[in-house]
Structure 1
């Protein structure tokens, strides 16, 4: 099969799999290097160093005992003598212990230790005699012996110790030199392997990019011509993957629209180069000759499986009389039978008389003593068998060698059958290994060059860091380059679908649905692969905010309800009310994948979503009554590119990445995803997440977006929008949707043109693309906010770009209304977003409020302050700051706050914004609608610290703004300014 015919997911799996194997090999090599250096260091510590320490301690013991003997002469009483004698005994015990250590660790001649032991014993005899003489009164004779024969024995002991210590020092230098030489050799080997991995990774990346980008670019150009009215245009791309399917659907649509056109020929030269394989006979000869030489075999043969005939055919033989015979692959006959059945090396000693393994000599033919059969296993198949025979018995060392090389032979054979390039690189690696081995003897002379080599390694490290930086930039560019052309296909298909509905036959109109659906499927696949790449590169960031888990699940249920309704599957949202601080987008991705899978694999019954809040965590369960998962597949479904049903006859599609990404997102949030299932009885997926995500998180303020109204068609009439977009397909799609709803759409093809137009027109809102030539969307947004005329102009971002954490912070800091990704634009969602910009809820401006510089309380005594706050700690803090000078009334959500306000008619209200049941914005609207409450000053209390948040909050009608945590002095001055003494 040609490379371009492979599924895009298969191509990516092959490429990423190869890179992962190479990185694993690098890790194994590094581990082996570290282990070898550790062993060298241990040898240096366990032998020379221990011997040197023992010699030092023994010298100290001898000197100490000699001093005690001299002190014994000067002892005045019996107690002093016994103390000294006890110290001498302790010295003898210590010396004996050090002598045993020397005998165990000393690597030199044993005679050195024996001589030392003999000298110590002789010295001990002389010392004991001297001590005896002192005890019997012969002090003068003892002094004579102490300076004479005893001193000579002591000197002999020191000479023996010096000899052992000198040998230990020499051995220490020898071991250090060996360790240094080994470290240099291992560094050279690691340098070569890193370079090889880098070269292979770059090659694989180039092949994958070229194989995906070129057909998509061709299909995009063809679709653009069709959209311009050229009905003769056809897509010439043909393959067996997803792009080929999309191309065929496009051509079918064009053929149907142009009824009088002939069928387009699909035979096109794809200009793809097949991977050329190594010549099998050369491989067999090389392996056979090597094995025979290393095992001293006289006869050898290589047999290769002929799948058509079901037999092993002789490929090459050496020393075999006559032509080799074939063997059945299924009957397990002859010498090969046991090896094929056990899939392991077999050794036959009792050679049958009818064997075809005979050795021809001038004296006649000889039957071998032993035959060894080596099956080369590849998965479930045995593509080749190597057989060796000898006129003598094989030695155990030779059999161990064959057992060790069997996996290597299998790897070589698979590489030969896969592609010649890997075989050539392997041969090059083998040559480099031989060259490194030949240079091993020269490393000692090159010790002076180590500093230079270290500098070169540092340069290589900087190059690797630069390569990682370029890889990150490539990932970002790849995200945009892949999505942009595919978005054009989806957008134009959607436009044609609306324009040609009821104008062409239903069958032909359904082709447009096929194009749009497959385009979105391909976009989802690309998004999954890019998400997985970012996760593996550690480039995913968390944006923690407080949101309602039930609300999030409700959105997903509403989104999937039409699909479930078509299948007759009920969706049951049993998630209770509750807030969670986490990354809402990551949580949405996890739950959308789990609920979407449950709907996809359930034909009858229902899908239930439930949640339990406990122990600072929330546990969500998605239960379905679908087909279930086999027990042996439960551990596989979370692996990359693996599915419970990966057969060619499976009913459902998919890439096998969804659950992998969901689990990795859960880990990123500090949680876990698990599954329980029974085949035929449904599945239950469980997600456990912390209530507050902190692992690698970047906090963002909780936000409550005002709900957009749904305007009538008349209310849209004449409202002007400025669309800033350089992609013609996107312009066509957006104008088609918006103008049909009555909006007046002005189009700017680039950022520079948009800024010039804004000097002459005043649109109600702007729809902005981010990736444009010359002046991009970020620069346009910054220019808009820098001019007072457009500083508050609503802006909706529509882009195919992967937005980084820094870019998203810039967008939020410049108050964008919403961000919608190209490719998955939903018409209703787009219209609701646009309506939310041009016809938002009318908040009260700060200037409309009637807060006087000072204000009298409604009643005598202390003023009444209503604090509406759902966090108990914050509520307790507010009460502590206020209760000395004010009467404090509290409420824990917006609804309760309204009830307390009607009951107590407070003089001022301190209102939190993010609360359950009814948030601060909705509660403020309710207060303004109540004639008895609308005059009460309301101050917003929030932890939001984004640029422009104060202005945004005051624009909703709040009388003031207090930031958390509450500052006592600021709170006191703020409230004191409202009331007269």
Structure 2
């Protein structure tokens, strides 16, 4: 019993093809890894033996030679001393005496693993010590005692030469022995190398054999199963369409899944074939039928047989009367009139409701007494009831009701739905034939009537001829009017073209004027800021205040220039907007931070309120929304002497959105309200304040300054963003300006329809936000100066044809410890660079004579060694797409004039650091 359970468990264990292949590769990898480890260990062992032979044996030989040299040296120095008596020979003798002992000790350490050589080396030591004790030391003592005669007699015996000869003999024998050991180790290395080679070949053969065996086993398990499936499919294909055979697979992997999927496909094909045969029977049965009653009866008899139904009724749509009705056309096993109604209203009972809702009713629990199906032997209630509509061109043309003692199977229900899909066309075809026959009969009657009417038509044709002549006269008059309108259209198009060209000239003029105004303004702002900072402390407080006033006036002039440019761009239709996600809490915090000091200075209460229903992100142009809100708050603070100014952000109610922005569709609309307790605006001045250069008080001695551009620009920007602006104010009681801006979420584009086309057509183009101007407006007068260590000793090439700008920039940069090189046009810039001097950064003006900044930057980038040189483009023209043009020409970054030192230094620090 246990063995059978284990067998079933093994069969149920799933091992996929991928796992089989993976296991084979893992086995090969493991064998290869083991082989590599074994070979690596053997190679490491051989390497250690080789290093031992190379290092140890040669070191022993060298040290033996040094020992011999030191002993011979002692003998030589001793004789020199005996002959001359010079102390230098005695000193050299003593040094060699110390060295031979050190060399001997080192040899003992090197051959400590060889007792035989140690014994030979001990004999050499005994000979050396014997020579020292018996020859060298006594002779030295005799020399020191001045006994020359005894020295001569000592040499007659010549005992010292015998000792030295034996020392050389022993050392030669020692070296010869070491050489034999070296040859022995070399022979052992050769044997190890041969063993390693044979081992590698054996391992390779072993891995190859096992890899082939594993591959054969895995491929057999895969290919064998595939062949089995192919044989089974071939048998099915050769059985002349018999689909009852099935594939049986005993392995549990992807091949089993393939076999099961193939069996399911065969079952589906068998089922589909059965359905097609039944449909063919229905179509063949109803071919050539030209009478609706016969069609209905034939269909009911056949469908009841196919569905195993014991009862059935066929209702057809009735075209008589004003109401929609169903008329009983045919039945199967029905018991007279009591079994089914002859006429059923649309929506009456289950049959009428089926026609009304155009859906199938399938009842599997039929109540007792609902209907009785009888035969000659008895009667009984059905178990299942099916009521289904028949469609043609998405309209119900008939209803079929069937009842059965058994439950309808899924296959029968699918067959029933397939039949109903095409049966509507059959019904329509039969009804069309009946209607054609009826119309044919009526046409015969109408032909006779037409003959009578033909005579009347001849009379009417004469009347029509006269009418046509009148119409031709009217057409000639219309053609003349059309010609006149075409002439007027051409004149209007020419006028529109002139207006467009004039607008373009105006924009170009304002841009050039901006350049001419910003150029002197640039040097004025830089120098006035440097004076106001008073870093060297040379100015008095009054002079420093004068510089602040000059700088403030210049900034006011810059704001006016920017406002005029924005207004001209809006009027010319060239002001782009950039749609992106705006973080509302960040916008609120920015507004709170910027205007709180102004409120404290004017002793006003100021608060920013953001409703909880405001989303974190709103998709619009954040820069333009910020510009609008700042303009409104600036006006509020200007005209409020006491009380409060508040800013509120919320989502607009749907009813108000439909009233103010009906084209916004389902988009969320942000409502931003600025409320103040200031002087208020009279009712008759509500529309006037939105005009350019207009204020509620337009007299020359008005109390409040300003150009009146802020509200005009704000209104135009709001319209570009697809929103609107409302005003609630009463003179002496403050004002509330409310901006309604829709969130331009891309997913809502389909529902916004025409509103997106009208209000967001500009939003489809990318915007180039003049971030320089924005930073100048938001920055304070005295910026935090950059770290001097970043700029100390850096070389900056300033390219500008305006000496005022050059003077201002040179002073500002040199105050930070930078080395400034000046060029007055692009050609001079290239000459400076060609000299080979080191330049860390280039400040490039754009509008210059001879060679402008664009051409100069392109020429610089052509030099391979200046490809990565940081170039910051400076321009005062502020034309559309200036930034892209500068970057395409080779600029690393872009900044517009007038320059703000804090921003310029921040930008320079980034590029110098990089």
TM-score above 0.5, yes or no = no
Q: TM-score range by the shorter chain?
A: 0.3 to 0.5
Q: TM-score, normalised by structure 1?
A: 0.37
Instruction: Choose 1 or 2 for highest CA Rg.
Output: 2
